[in-house]
Amino acid sequence: MSAIRIAPSLLAADFTRLGEEVRAIEAAGADWLHLDIMDGHFVPNISFGPGLVKALRPHSRMPFDVHLMIAPADPYLAAFAEAGADIISLHPEAGPHLHRSLQTIRALGRKAGVVLNPATPVESLAHVLDLTDLILVMSVNPGFGGQSFLSSQLEKIATLRRMITQSGHEIALQVDGGVTLKTAPDCIAAGADVLVAGTAVFGAPDYAAAIAGLRGGA
């Protein structure tokens, strides 16, 4: 059985019927729901906040994977935990104390993730691996769906896979941005085990086929 998990990004869903879209991807075999939170300040786009996460929570049993693209992030961690996030990920650039932010997420009883922008080096999380449940490698500059995959990030994924193995910690390695049927195999070969996909799932005519294809099981 494949260990690859697929996390469709709600950003590419039909916003006029989000509950239905979430139920549809769950029925189609999605593993996690990826929720992109954008503030128009940390990234040049605005999406949605904890109110929407809370509204969707009763519609799904999938883990809610909340990707915070907001700065500061610390004042909102509790709100997203209460709204029903299972995993809360943030960028090191979102605040001065990444270690403290990860401690806060864990203290809220949620899994903690660190997101690396394309230009952010792997060293920025080298000393917080003991507090990290998930590492997210951005394979586009964050802010928008539908961008082209940056293959320069494959080497970073491979480096992080080695770091995770050496650390002995159980840490998921996720990739986000431009993941398609064409780029997913390279991500998996480099060592990623969770694939975020917006356009490649919600833009496909058959969600189940798209998810199975990304997982490599089509």
CB of 85 vs Zn ion, minimal distance in Å? 13
Per CB under 6 A, does 213 bind ligand DX5?
A: no
Rg (CA), the chain: 16
Per CB under 5 A, does 36 bind Zn ion?
A: yes
CB of 177 vs ligand DX5, minimal distance in Å? 5
Task: Kindly identify the residues of this chain, within the stretch 118-177, that bind ligand DX5 according to CB under 6 A.
Answer: 140, 142-143, 145-147, 176-177
Which span (25-33, 36-44, 92-100, 156-164) binds Zn ion, by CB under 5 A? 36-44
CB of 68 vs ligand DX5, minimal distance in Å? 10
CB atoms within 10 A of CB 151: 13
CB of 9 vs Zn ion, minimal distance in Å? 6
Task: State residue 177 phi and psi, 5-degree precision.
Answer: 120, 115
What are the beta bridge partners of residue 136?
A: 115, 174
Amino acid at 86: D
Cβ atoms of 50 and 78 within 8 Å: the answer is no
Looking at beta carbons, which residue is closest to Zn ion? 67
- Strand 87-90 and strand 111-116: the pairing is parallel
Residue 145 near which of ligand DX5, Zn ion, none (CB within 5-8 Å, type-dependent):
ligand DX5
Total residues interacting with ligand DX5, rule: CB under 6 A: 21
CB atoms within 10 A of CB 164: 19
CA distances from 203 to 55, 100, 118 (A): 23, 38, 24
DSSP states along 103-153 = HHHHHTT-EEEEEE-TTS-GGGGTT-GGG-SEEEEESS-TT-SSPPP-TTH
Q: Would you say 34 or 156 has its CB closer to ligand DX5?
A: 34
Task: Kindly identify the residues of this chain, within the stretch 40-69, that bind ligand DX5 according to CB under 6 A.
Answer: 67
Which span (9-17, 52-60, 72-80, 162-170) binds ligand DX5, by CB under 6 A? 9-17
* Residues noted as catalytic: 36, 176
Per CB under 6 A, does 191 bind ligand DX5?
A: no
Residues at the interface with Zn ion (CB under 5 A): 36, 67, 176
